[in-house]
Amino acid sequence: MKVMVTGGAGYIGSVVTEELLRGGDEVVVYDSLYKGHREAVVEGAAFVKGDLLDTALLRETLAHHKVEAVVHMAADSLVGESVKVPAKYYRNNVLGGLSLLDAMLGAEVKYLVFSSTAAVYGEPAKQPIEETDPTQPTNPYGETKLAFERALRWYDSAHGLRFVSLRYFNAAGATERSGERHDPETHLIPIILQAAAGQRPEVTVFGDDYPTPDGTCVRDYIHVVDLAQAHILALHALAKGHPSSIYNLGCGGEGYSVKQVIDCARRVTGRDIPVSKGPRRAGDPAVLIASSARIVRELGWRPTQQKLDTIVESAWRWMQRKR
Ligand SMILES: NC(=O)c1ccc[n+]([C@@H]2O[C@H](COP(=O)([O-])OP(=O)(O)OC[C@H]3O[C@@H](n4cnc5c(N)ncnc54)[C@H](O)[C@@H]3O)[C@@H](O)[C@H]2O)c1
Ligand SMILES: O=c1ccn([C@@H]2O[C@H](COP(=O)(O)OP(=O)(O)O[C@H]3O[C@H](CO)[C@@H](O)[C@H](O)[C@H]3O)[C@@H](O)[C@H]2O)c(=O)[nH]1
């Protein structure tokens, strides 16, 4: 297929691009580079520098490259920031998304795979979380992702635009080529590895009084390559007539606490990792674990790198190579 990846200069987008190209699909990356990196765009993909709000350029890109499907990953995605500046999230994640849909209708592109998030569930009533559980976001990031997901349903019924929305849990790890590089970095695993590498003095644990076995937050970490593979399955299913669907994406199991992730990184790197205790971070649910049974059942998705050690090792190897 000919696929446009918005946000393809970012962390997950570059890995999705790699996997699409490896599987024989053609890719055009559309990214403003306002957060991503030009060198993260995979060789072999076409690149267009542009903003989501530029509907005309999006439409021209879709038409010029004869795009058949879009993977929409460009977004703002920091929970804490979204609480402080909700307008930025409504503008980029909702208005930017609608601009993309307008361009897709104009260019008659009918398939979309969307990067949604576990943040649409808010503080879940039970674990593991299923797609049928209530969606009650506790921050503007989750709210704007849910708003766009809901818009997709109406665009499907009105215009036949078919979508798969993938609600990722915590993406982590790297390929040989692509890894996580945000500035500033807010994600736990790269922060821990930066501390292991001596690039920051310590890791602050945000709260150790949660109702979890060791008091720290528990998350479901999924290897970025397993995540990328789900996009490919989704795209190919849509092309074969699969109806619009929503899927969780995580490894399930018991998840890992912040303390367990730090211990894992100590094991993997063999380095000392200084830790300090800090207050809870606003908007953090205690536990987020996915049931991915639906995507396993319907699309045949299977995670292949579920061990946290394997995930952290891949991120550490990538970081070492970058130095
Ligand atoms: N990292 C995670 O664990 C996680 C979990 C759930 C969902 N997600 C979602 O996955 C997607 C990718 O996440 P990531 O961690 O790779 O983020 P990232 O910040 O590394 O990549 C996002 C990319 O989108 C681009 N972008 C943002 N706004 C744009 C705009 N208006 N126009 C053009 N380009 C724009 C940025 O320049 C960047 O290259 C996001 O939609 C995010 O909400 C991520
Ligand atoms: O310096 C740090 C950074 C993080 N944490 C904790 O580590 C856990 C994981 O945090 P982080 O890596 O920032 O991920 P999340 O906040 O869980 O959010 C990620 O996962 C969500 C889905 O689960 C997505 O919606 C978000 O986009 C994605 O950033 C949380 O409990 C944080 O409080 C710390 O204790 N110290």
Dihedral sign from CA coordinates of 153, 154, 155, 157: positive
Q: What is the mean pLDDT of residues 233-262?
A: 97
pLDDT at res. 246: 98
Place of tokens 């398939």: 111
* Residue of 170, 191, 203 with the most ligand 2 atoms within 8 Å of its CB, for mutation: 170
Joined tokens for residue 9: 């200069």
CA 66 / ligand 1 centre spacing (Å): 24
H or E segment to which residue 111 belongs: strand 111-117
The residues carrying an active-site annotation are 141
DSSP annotation of 290: B
Q: Whose CA is nearest to atom 12 of ligand 2?
A: 187
Name every residue whose Cβ is closer than 8 Å to that of residue 129 and which is 6 or more positions away in sequence: 118, 121, 248, 288, 289, 290, 291
pLDDT at res. 323: 65
Q: What is the pLDDT of residues 28-84, one digit of tens each?
A: 999 999 999 999 999 999 999 999 999 999 999 999 999 999 999 999 999 889 999
- Assign 312 a pLDDT band (cuts: 50, 70, 90): very high
CA 75 / ligand 1 centre spacing (Å): 5
Q: What is the pLDDT of residues 283-294, one digit of tens each?
A: 889 999 999 999
* Residue of 77, 78, 81, 191 with the most ligand 1 atoms within 8 Å of its CB, for mutation: 77
CA 88 / ligand 1 centre spacing (Å): 14
d(CA 29, CA 67): 11
Q: Inform me whether the pLDDT recorded for 112 exceeds 90.
A: yes
pLDDT at res. 53: 98
Give me the chain's average pLDDT, please: 97
Q: Inform me whether the pLDDT recorded for 322 exceeds 90.
A: no
**Burial zone of 167 (CB within 10 Å; 0-12 exposed, 13-18 middle, 19+ buried):** buried
Q: What is the mean pLDDT of residues 164-189?
A: 96
Residue whose C-alpha is closest to residue 292's, from 216, 221, 244: 221
| Amino acid (1-letter code) at residue 56 | A
pLDDT at res. 167: 98
Q: Whose CA is nearest to atom 18 of ligand 1?
A: 10
Residue whose C-alpha is closest to residue 90's, from 40, 3, 151: 151
Ligand closest to the CA atom of residue 75: 1
* Structural domains present in the chain: 2-171+221-249 (3.40.50.720), 173-219+252-322 (3.90.25.10)
For every residue of 235-287, DSSP letters joined together read: HHHHHTTPPPEEEEE---TT-EEHHHHHHHHHHHH-----EEEEPPPTT--SE
Using a 6 Å CB cutoff, which residues line ligand 1?
7, 9-13, 31-36, 51-52, 73-75, 77, 92, 96, 115, 117, 168, 170-171, 182
CA 214 / ligand 1 centre spacing (Å): 31
pLDDT at res. 147: 98
